[in-house]
Structure 1
Amino acid sequence: MNGAWTAIAGRAAWPRAWRLARYRRPGWALADQCVVSACNFLTIYLFARTMSTPAFGAFMIAHTGLMLLTSMQGALIVQPHNVLAAPLEGASYRRFTAALGVAQVLFTAALCAALAAAAAIVWALGATGAGVVMLALAAAAFPWLAQEFVRRVLYTHGETRAAFANDALTYGLQLAGALAAVIWLGGGADARAAFVVLGASSLAGAAAGLWQLRGHLQWNGGWLRALIAWKEAWDFGKWLSAQNLLAWMGTHGHAWVVGIMLGAEQVGLYRAATHLTNVINPVRQAAFNYLPSRGSKVRHSDGQAGLSRWMRRTFWFLLLAPLPVALPLMLFPGPILSLAYGDRYSGPELALILALATLAQLVTFVKFTFDLGLLALRGTKSIFYVHLIPVALLFTTGIGLVYAFGIVGVPLSGLLIGVAVLAATAVAYRRLAKAQEAG
């Protein structure tokens, strides 16, 4: 009798344990992103307060380049792993992960070598300052991208606690390094010092990540299996990489437009003000890291109907979750800027920029619901076509708004782009879902 009750209790305990695990994983994902976002936020904030405005502007222009490299790696390697490897188990998963790990090393080495060569050319042409910044970026990019690969691979099978541990090490060292740099260098801190901090801390995280991934890797299929995995990842990611390039141009290309039209100092002013919108990042990036593989699994197990139900729940989460942070930024931007920077970055113009940029962030956040649907349906080609819109708007109305309104034109352009892309992504998802149901 006791054995029967034990068996019944055991069967009842499994669903409860499974449900608890489902909630713990998003909890660790949120904690992880809180660490990443808080440390990144404070790192950039320390540099914004300490560097001269032109030096900070130059750093942020180069930093957008680092974000582009991260985005390209995400499209070609990381997101294919998050989606394609999510249903895999055992040796199949380990071989696929090892193949993409080799691809990541080769991809990153090629990017950094090309960037270093470009830095040498710029230096030889007489732009010594720009060449030094580009060389520092090339040196920091390799460990940065390696650590990003590690943390995102851990997310594929929901190992969010391990990702949290790696990021706590990496970004804790980053914040400590930034604090040491601004104390030691003061107003003399520049982009070179900033990239030394980013690169050194990422190197520590990447080294720890190699140990964490020891059970994820199995290289016994040879180069033929690797080539098959690379082709599968390329077929998935080629349109996504083009889309990410277009999205980067639509989202971060404004910094380059402002730099060319108005100078690095204006970039520094704009990025210092809008940096405060990054307090939304913990929820946003936790969703970006955790949800793509979850959507893929829902589509795989429950079909289109299950994916649609999951997306409805996700839409309301993505709409409501950032509001407690976003509303104060939109309603009280002036006092918040004064509290953060004192008189250095204040005034009605920068307050308006902060409010508009926050609203644009919310629109982009909600749009991610339909990105998730397209990714789960493997509609990366549709995502690419949608993101032709930001580039077209940036180089037409975006430039016009910057010309007419100065740096206030940047968040106006960002808001216009966000609304247009939200509408287009929703339409693209619905059309693809209907086509797959009919087919």
Structure 2
Amino acid sequence: MPAHLNWTLIDQAMVSLVNFLTGVLVARLLGIESFGFFALLWTILFFFSGLQIAFVLSPLLSLGTQQATEQADSYYSVVLVQQLLFAILSSLCIFAGLWFSNWLFPAWHTAPYALLLALTSFTYQLQDFIRRYFFTLGNTHSAFTNDVISYLGQLAGLLGLYYWQIISIHAVLWVTMLSSLLAIVIGLKRFRWQAWETHFFYQVTQRHWLYARWLCVSVLLERSHDAMMKAVITAVLGVQAVGVFRACQNVLGVTHVLLLALENFAPPRAGRVYIHTGKASLQQYLVKLTRYGGAVMAVIVLLLGGFPDSWLYWFYGDEFEGYGAILSSYALVYFLVFFLSPLKIGLRVLENTRPLFYALLWATVVSLAILYPLTVWLGLQGTLLQLCLFNAIQVAYLFVALRLQLKS
């Protein structure tokens, strides 16, 4: 196994493990209902993180390795400016949105979290950009070091709060924000800044926009589907069900080692393969990713889905007892999600992102049509059934689209 892949997997294993541990810790301390409210707040942060991936990180990972050596540092400097602008804009939207929602729905009490969630979003995005920058360069050691500072720092802070029993939603956000900020300060010292001419900035921006416009509307559609799903769960089953949903996601966090590691190392690698040896080699690389990654994913899913009640009891205690079937169904959803990754990576490297939107559009139309009745009839199992269909439709559509693109 290549050294860069080793470090990528080690890094992602560490990140996923810390996310899992912090999720378990927060769930235990806040209780199922407060944890559900925290999960809803975190959904807002992830919404803008998804837009960041579309506008900044996906172009960076797929196109960064295709830059000429003499202009690479200028390219990365342009993208850093784009990232800063986007992080500022999204933080302002979060701040204004929470204040406005507090005015419309005062019972939600969102205003006290407005500023802190906005700052957390800003630092979260900047730290994520820095780690992806190092991955694009192939400097996986620096990416790992930066993630150690951010994620282990976050875990250490939460453990400290747990020890002194002063944990709260505000405290969790403070710890996340400060640990990310420390990683940003240290990471920027290793950033290779280089000035650029104005026309180069517009050239990069235009190429990124052509690349990202379909990804952007896809993210908006996907996040809207996710928000609608949580809204239906909350309305039909209560905020406690959102906490169960989130808790099962945390248990399945081990699969993120594979899924997110693919997103870190595969797009730059696929871009190099395509630019140097063409579509046939790219197809071989994607088939290999699917074959070996699918086998690993199957083992993980069988282990987690085969003993669901035990996992939930070990990690959360008695409060989440009786939800094992939900975890097993969610494991099947994650197995389908894996097969989206190689398909999306291939289309992004080929700079054909339009099928990503249409696959998501058809999947969303079908799933939203059945979401409410299935949730009413079958509870969370019904929600997960529509989620399986949601991902299966995308896999089928993107498989055909990528196959046609590789043959053209």
Q: TM-score range by the shorter chain?
A: over 0.9
CA offsets per residue over residues 394-438 of structure 1, 9 Å max, x none?
A: 32112221121222222222112121111111011112223xx3x
Tell me how far 1:106 sits from its aligned partner: 0.9
Task: Return the alpha-carbon distance in structure 2 between the equivalents of residues 51 and 294 of structure 1.
Answer: 41
Task: Return the alpha-carbon distance in structure 1 between the equivalents of residues 27 and 46 of structure 2.
Answer: 18
Q: Alignment partner for residue 399 of structure 1, among 372, 382, 385?
A: 372
Q: Alignment partner for residue 192 of structure 1, among 155, 170, 177?
A: 170
2:150 corresponds to 1:170: yes
Secondary structure of 1:344 counterpart = helix
Q: Which residue of 2 aligns with 1:275?
A: 250
1:274–1:353: 8 Å Cα contact kept in structure 2? no
Task: Return the alpha-carbon distance in structure 2 between the equivalents of residues 432 and 191 of structure 1.
Answer: 47
Query: Cα–Cα, structure 1 residues 120 and 367, in superposed 2: closer, same or farther, change >3 Å?
Result: closer
Task: Return the alpha-carbon distance in structure 2 between the equivalents of residues 169 and 395 of structure 1.
Answer: 40
Partner amino acid, structure 1, of 2:315? A
2:91–2:119: 8 Å Cα contact kept in structure 1? yes
CA offsets per residue over residues 243-277 of structure 1, 9 Å max, x none?
A: 12223344564223312433322211221233201
Partner amino acid, structure 2, of 1:357? Y
Task: Return the alpha-carbon distance in structure 1 between the equivalents of residues 217 and 163 of structure 2.
Answer: 41
Tell me how far 1:51 sits from its aligned partner: 0.6
Q: Alignment partner for residue 206 of structure 2, among 231, 235, 245?
A: 231
Q: Which residue of 2 aligns with 1:383?
A: 356
Partner amino acid, structure 1, of 2:195? W
Partner amino acid, structure 2, of 1:78? L
Structure 2: gaps (5+ residues):
none
How many aligned positions are there? 407
Percent identity over the alignment is 27
2:336 corresponds to 1:336: no
Task: Return the alpha-carbon distance in structure 2 between the equivalents of residues 328 and 251 of structure 1.
Answer: 26
CA offsets per residue over residues 94-144 of structure 1, 9 Å max, x none?
A: 111111111111111011112112222233443462222343321210011
2:23 corresponds to 1:44: yes
Query: Cα–Cα, structure 1 residues 119 and 320, in superposed 2: closer, same or farther, change >3 Å?
Result: same
From the CA coordinates, give the structure whose radius of gyration is larger: 1
Task: Return the alpha-carbon distance in structure 2 between the equivalents of residues 220 and 332 of structure 1.
Answer: 56
Secondary structure of 1:218 counterpart = coil
Task: Return the alpha-carbon distance in structure 2 between the equivalents of residues 135 and 100 of structure 1.
Answer: 26
1:86–1:157: 8 Å Cα contact kept in structure 2? yes
Q: Alignment partner for residue 62 of structure 2, among 67, 71, 83?
A: 83
Query: Cα–Cα, structure 1 residues 31 and 333, in superposed 2: closer, same or farther, change >3 Å?
Result: same
1:255–1:267: 8 Å Cα contact kept in structure 2? yes
CA offsets per residue over residues 165-222 of structure 1, 9 Å max, x none?
A: 1001110101111212233336xx3322221121111111111111121x2x21132x
Tell me how far 1:371 sits from its aligned partner: 1.1
Query: Cα–Cα, structure 1 residues 93 and 127, in superposed 2: closer, same or farther, change >3 Å?
Result: farther
1:249–1:391: 8 Å Cα contact kept in structure 2? no
1:59–1:190: 8 Å Cα contact kept in structure 2? no
Tell me how far 1:26 sits from its aligned partner: 0.5
Task: Return the alpha-carbon distance in structure 1 between the equivalents of residues 224 and 97 of structure 2.
Answer: 20
2:182 corresponds to 1:204: yes
1:37–1:281: 8 Å Cα contact kept in structure 2? yes
Secondary structure of 1:212 counterpart = coil
Partner amino acid, structure 2, of 1:131? A
CA offsets per residue over residues 268-311 of structure 1, 9 Å max, x none?
A: 12212332011211121111111111111111111111111111
Task: Return the alpha-carbon distance in structure 2 between the equivalents of residues 131 and 182 of structure 1.
Answer: 25
Task: Return the alpha-carbon distance in structure 1 between the equivalents of residues 251 and 363 of structure 2.
Answer: 23
Q: Which residue of 1 aligns with 2:261?
A: 286
1:170–1:205: 8 Å Cα contact kept in structure 2? yes
Partner amino acid, structure 1, of 2:277? D
2:359–2:393: 8 Å Cα contact kept in structure 1? no
Partner amino acid, structure 2, of 1:82? L
Matches within 5 A, 1:125-274: 125=104, 126-127=106-107, 129-185=109-165, 189-213=167-191, 215=192, 217-221=193-197, 223-251=198-226, 253-274=228-249
Task: Return the alpha-carbon distance in structure 2 between the equivalents of residues 336 and 128 of structure 1.
Answer: 32
Q: Which residue of 1 aligns with 2:405?
A: 432
Query: Cα–Cα, structure 1 residues 405 and 282, in superposed 2: closer, same or farther, change >3 Å?
Result: same
**Higher deviation after alignment, 123-132 or 169-178:** 123-132
Q: Which residue of 2 aligns with 1:16?
A: none
2:341 corresponds to 1:368: yes
Matches within 5 A, 1:305-324: 305-324=280-299
Query: Cα–Cα, structure 1 residues 97 and 48, in superposed 2: closer, same or farther, change >3 Å?
Result: same
Matches within 5 A, 1:15-30: 23-30=2-9
Q: Which residue of 2 aligns with 1:73?
A: 52
1:397–1:413: 8 Å Cα contact kept in structure 2? yes
**Higher deviation after alignment, 245-254 or 194-203:** 245-254
2:388 corresponds to 1:420: no
**Higher deviation after alignment, 394-403 or 257-266:** 257-266
1:178–1:194: 8 Å Cα contact kept in structure 2? yes
Structure 1: gaps (5+ residues):
1-21
Supply the RMSD in Å over aligned alpha carbons: 1.7
Task: Return the alpha-carbon distance in structure 2 between the equivalents of residues 410 and 194 of structure 1.
Answer: 29
Task: Return the alpha-carbon distance in structure 1 between the equivalents of residues 373 and 187 of structure 2.
Answer: 45
Query: Cα–Cα, structure 1 residues 225 and 46, in superposed 2: closer, same or farther, change >3 Å?
Result: same
2:24–2:316: 8 Å Cα contact kept in structure 1? no
**Higher deviation after alignment, 380-389 or 264-273:** 264-273
Partner amino acid, structure 2, of 1:156? T
Q: Alignment partner for residue 410 of structure 1, among 360, 369, 383?
A: 383
Partner amino acid, structure 2, of 1:149? F
2:33 corresponds to 1:54: yes
TM-score by length of 2: 0.95
**Higher deviation after alignment, 394-403 or 374-383:** 394-403
Partner amino acid, structure 1, of 2:269? R
